[in-house]
Amino acid sequence: MNNMVLSSVSVGDAFLNVAIGMITVFVVLILISFIISLFKYISVIQNKLADRKANKDLVASSTDTVLSQIEEKEEVESVELTDDLELVAVITAAIAASMGTSTDGFVVRSIRRAGKSRWKNA
């Protein structure tokens, strides 16, 4: 029975089978190596996503802090700032986000329109 199996496969076919098997193994190994080399980028992507989430949380908390500061000041001075509450909150949150700090130390005292735009002067 062994002679029958050995005689039905030629040497050329045997080498072809070995070559196809080895090529398949090495292609899979190279593919696995490539996938493993991409793992270093996973932490970079996770850090970027965490930073974006932290920035969103910072803006949200700074907006809440600004609104609470405005409400406290409004109660003390009893000044009508209902139209400017959102504007003050947005400006303060933008300043805090650009500086990378919280709004704990910020107090908005007044908002007034600038006279002329620098673009008009140029």
Residues 105 and 78 in one domain: yes
Residue indicated by tokens 């970079």 = 44
Residues 52 and 87 in one domain: yes
**Contact call for residues 94 and 55 (beta carbons, < 8 A):** no
Distance CA 96, CA 105 (A): 10
> Which residues, at least 6 apart from 87, have a Cβ–Cβ distance to it below 8 Å?
111
Range of the domain at 2: 1-37
Residues 72 and 25 in one domain: no
How many domains in the chain? Answer: 2
Residues 48 and 33 in one domain: no
The 10s digit of each residue's pLDDT in 80-99 is 445 567 777 777 778 788 87
Assess whether pLDDT exceeds 70 at residue 68.
yes
- Higher-pLDDT residue of 98 and 79 is 98
> Minimum mean pLDDT among 11-15, 30-34, 51-55, 102-106: which range?
102-106
Residues 17 and 53 in one domain: no
Residues 70 and 110 in one domain: yes
Please give the structure tokens belonging to residue 56. 């969103």
pLDDT of residue 89: 76
Segment 38-63 mean pLDDT:
82
Assess whether pLDDT exceeds 80 at residue 104.
no
**Contact call for residues 59 and 32 (beta carbons, < 8 A):** no
Residues 51 and 29 in one domain: no
Distance CA 77, CA 64 (A): 20
Residues 83 and 57 in one domain: yes
pLDDT of residue 106: 72
Distance CA 7, CA 87 (A): 89
**Contact call for residues 57 and 102 (beta carbons, < 8 A):** no
Segment 76-81 mean pLDDT:
51
